[in-house]
Structures are given as structure tokens and as C-alpha cells.
Amino acid sequence: DLYRKLSLEVVNKFPSTERGAQAIYWLALRTEDVGDKIDLYKRSFTEFPPEKFGWSSSSMPSLFDIYLERSPAQAVEFARQMKALNKDERDVKSWGERETLAELVIRVKSLMSENKAKEAEEAAAAIIIPRYSSTTEFINLLKAKVAHAAGNTEVAYKNLLNYFSAEPIDKVYSTLLAYGKKMGKAETTVREDVHANRYATAVPATPFSLFAYITHDTISLDEFKGKVILLTYWFPGCGPCRGEFPNFENVIRKFKGKDVVYLAINIAPEQDEYVVPFVRSSGYSFIPLKDEPEKRGNLTARGAPTNYLLDRDGNIIFKNFRTDDRNERTLELMIQSLLE
């Protein structure tokens, strides 16, 4: 398509530069075919060595994640290769953790193939999922499968309930229903469990009143009572924010005419002058607000983007999530659950 064509033109026009590395990063991320995605990541690794290019380095965990699901042995080998390339202590540590993760997945699968479910469950308990890993679904389903095979269906159900409550995914829900059925739970009961689990940790968002860049008036959180609120902290020069906005917009458009509000709080006052031009040129539908850090309360911002989803009563139900081409459906399910 046109996006792919233009992205590859940038890659070819700017070899051995961060601009080229950035173009292939976004193209790989937005490519749906897994085979094509792998080829792009491999090209990034070869033409933009990750030890020299930040964008390439940032994309390598995604290649590892693909390997982990398709071929854990290949994931181990790749993690060792990346660990050897890196000089930064934190990077060496993170790739060492990925190596251990892949080794544990291999062990769990091996034990399951030998019908040693109890031992597999013990091995699976040691698995730690990296932050922002696309393997979260894969690993949670694997752990649940192992627990069920070991005779701990209630554990499998509880773990998937906790995961689905925070990150709704269709496949996880169908699996949750299957385990619930084995425990004698009807779908209505499972849905009640999910709702209770979500609201067990829900808290009212700290109310605020902030300056609105477009209308030049003050907008308060209380104005949106009765509506679901998608709230993101951002700033005009934030690359990850710009990467996420199209995905947010795709989901928000599905709820056109519904009680859903989209707010974006700019946390970089030195970039105030760029907010309105960006909103108008991009066509994004969010309401841009000016941050006042002392008013954040429990709507904290560790950086940008930081995202929250509030229910109709202003309670924080979902937080610290990220949305991209792979998981727009998750955000859609989050919003839908709060509209029901």
C-alpha cells in the first residue's frame, strides 16, 4: 500500500540514519502479516545495527516476542545475541531476563509434552512477563493451561479473571468462559465476576478544572459525569503519543454518538504554542487541556503517554495501558464494558 511504499522510500533514501531506522520501526509495527513483520525487523537489525541506532534497538524486543511464540529456542538464541551486543547495563539485564523467559517457556512446554503438569506449573510460576510485552496474552494463556492440566482449574480461572479484568481480549474471554463452565459458572456469573474484580480496585478520579486550548475556557472533570472518559497525558513532540493517537482515534470513532469523551492533557508547557496547530492539522477529536501538575491527584503522569479510562461516575477503571495496531480491540472492549 501507499504507507508501505513511502516508508520504504524513506528507508532507502536515508540509509544508516535514525530517520531510516524510525521509518522501518513504524512500518514493522503496523505490518499485520507476521512473516513480513519478521523480515522488516531482520532488515532493521542488519541495516541499522541496534547497538548504534536507537529506533532499531527499540524494535528488537518485538522481534523477540514473535520468536517466543513461534519458536522459543530461536528466542533464546536471539536474546543471547542481543545481550552480547549491548554495553548498557540495563539493556544487558533486560535481555538476560528475556533469555530466562524463553528458557522457561521451553521447559514448561517440554514438561507438558511429557505429561508432567505439576512440574510444568512450578516452572510456569517463575515466568515474569516483561513490561509492555506483546507476549502477555500468550504467557497468561499458557500459565492458565498448565494450571488447569495440573488440576488447578480455579487457579487458572482466577489468574485469567485478573488478566481479563485489566486487559480485555476476546480469546482470553472465551478461555475464561471455558474454565468457568468447568467450575459450573454460567456466562452471566463470569461477567459478574469480571465486574466485581474491576471495581474492587476502582477509585474516584481526583476532580480537576483545566484550561482548554481550543475554546480558551476552563473545563472540569465533573462536566463529563455520565460519560466514559478516555484521558491521556501527552505533548506535541512526544513520538509515542503521536504513534498512539491514530489507534485511539480509530477506536473513538466506533463510539461516535455514544457517551464517550476523549481528553488529552499537555504536560509540556514550553510546547503550548504547538498544541492548537497540531490538533487542527491532524484532525484528531480529543479535547486538548493544559496541565497543572498540582491538580493531578491520583491521575498521575509518569511520563507521556500515560493513559486512563474512567467510567460514567468518574471512577478510574483502567490505567497504564498502551494502544497500538495490535490491540485496538482491547481498548474497544474496555470502553464498551463501561457503557453497558
We report the CATH number of the domain holding residue 139 as 1.25.40
Q: Are residues 174 and 59 in the same domain?
A: yes
Largest CA distance in the chain: 67
Residue 84 DSSP one-character state? H
DSSP helix/strand/coil, 89: helix
Contact 158, 122 (CB under 8 A): no
Average pLDDT of the residues in 101-108: 98
Residue 131 has pLDDT above 90, yes or no: no
Nearest to 48 by CA among 6, 84, 12: 12
Q: Are residues 265 and 139 in the same domain?
A: no
pLDDT for 166: 97
* Domain stops at, among 168, 198, 228: 198
pLDDT confidence tier of residue 74, bands split at 50, 70 and 90: very high
Q: Are residues 135 and 274 in the same domain?
A: no
Q: Are residues 112 and 237 in the same domain?
A: no
Q: Are residues 149 and 9 in the same domain?
A: yes
pLDDT, averaged across the chain? 97
* Domain stops at, among 158, 183, 198: 198
- Taking only the tens place, the pLDDT of each residue in 26-48 is 999 999 999 999 999 999 999 99
Owning domain of residue 84: 2-198
pLDDT for 132: 77
Residue 242 has pLDDT above 90, yes or no: yes
pTM above 0.85, yes or no: yes
pLDDT for 196: 98
Residue 129 has pLDDT above 90, yes or no: no
- Taking only the tens place, the pLDDT of each residue in 160-194 is 999 999 999 999 999 999 999 999 999 999 999 99
pLDDT for 321: 95
pLDDT for 130: 84
* Domain stops at, among 198, 227, 251: 198
Q: Are residues 194 and 212 in the same domain?
A: no
Please, which residues have CB within 8 angstroms of residue 194's CB and are 6 or more apart in sequence? Answer: 161, 164, 165, 337
Q: Are residues 29 and 140 in the same domain?
A: yes
Average pLDDT of the residues in 218-243: 96
pLDDT for 265: 98
CATH of the domain at 243: 3.40.30.10
Per the structure, the count of domains in the chain is: 2
pLDDT for 308: 98
pLDDT for 64: 98
Cell (9 digits) for 210: 483545566
Average pLDDT of the residues in 268-296: 97
Strands 260-266 and 287-290: parallel
Average pLDDT of the residues in 224-250: 96
Listed in sequence order, the DSSP H helices in 126-236 are: 136-149, 153-166, 170-182, 187-199
